[in-house]
Amino acid sequence: MGRIAIYDVDADDKTHKSELPNLALMRVSAFYKKLGFTVEHYSPLHRDYYDKVFASTIFSFSDKSQLDPEQMEIGGSAWDLHKNLPPEVEACRPDYSLYRYPHSIGFAMRGCRFRCKFCDVPEKEGRPKASNTIGEIWTNRDSNFVVLLDNDFFGNPLWRERIAEVRRLGLDVNFSQGLNIRIITDEQSQALASVPFWNLHHTKRQVHFAWDRFQDEKAIDAGIERVKAAGIKPYQMAFYVLIGFDTTPEQDLYRVTKLKDLGCDPYVMSYDDTDPYQGRFERWVNHKATFYSTSFENYRVGVRGKRDKSTAWMFG
């Protein structure tokens, strides 16, 4: 009947894989396969032979040089915050075969309670509201692992029902975008401890939180204590640590060092990937063998062969 190309701008050019498959593109693939089209990953060499090309980009740092609005239908938050899938496409079960992804992913809620200046979710999705049930997300029934893309899981008015559903269905769950430990309650901490949470790769019993703002230290400390009281161990707590937005290198080093000393696992996310300091600091922390064996000063000197003047003041 025709050929449809799927262009995941954020994925590796050769393998077409990214950390997570693109949910919107999987729905597009499913919709057009139902109509009888052949669906394949986009190849620039074949661009003149496609009936239509659907492209999506979520990350601002992804290379968008190959995007052509004249020939492609383009979406994603890094392209247009207000563009959504048509309802008939949004309703399709994702085509997981597009990425050969063995688990299930989806949103149990949309929106967020907060308006962090570094995040576009409130502008794109608005206030928190329930979306799908866990059963509706769990469509890859050969796997009992569900990855939730919710930006604010405990902001969902129906979070208690979703937790109960995870337990009732006997599923493992990953909260991929992290949970807000600053305001987590005792009830929520106990609910979290009651489900089998896992990291994104389903290899480790770990749950992600975030420490984005340096001034939230006291709230982070209190949240860690509440989660620990519910039975979750520090080594099971991973933290996204945003750098380069409104913190200094000294504050960045303080946060990751404190989390390490508490027994938690920091994971740095750079606000500006083009900044040499941010890229270097991120690589140091996120490569765990290096992080736990080498100081940032030694890593910095070893990588560049000389001191980085932008952060030399941190070490004298």
pLDDT tens sequence across 39-98: 999 999 888 899 999 999 988 778 888 898 988 999 988 887 778 899 999 999 999 999
Over pLDDT 90: what percentage of the chain?
Answer: 73
Helix (H, G, I), strand (E, B) or coil at 284: helix
Query: pLDDT band at 310, cuts 50/70/90?
Result: very low
pLDDT of residue 302: 61
Q: Cα angle vertex 39, ends 37, 40, to 5°?
A: 155
Cβ contact 4:89 at 8 Å: no
> CA–CA separation, 171 vs 182, rounded Å?
26
Nearest to 205 by CA among 259, 165, 265: 265
Q: Is the pLDDT of residue 306 over 70?
A: no
pLDDT of residue 244: 93
Nearest to 98 by CA among 1, 30, 49, 11: 30
Residue 306 or residue 261, greater confidence = 261
**What are the pLDDT digits (tens) for 98-127?**
999 999 999 999 876 676 666 666 566 667
pLDDT of residue 300: 76
What integer best gives the mean pLDDT of the chain?
89
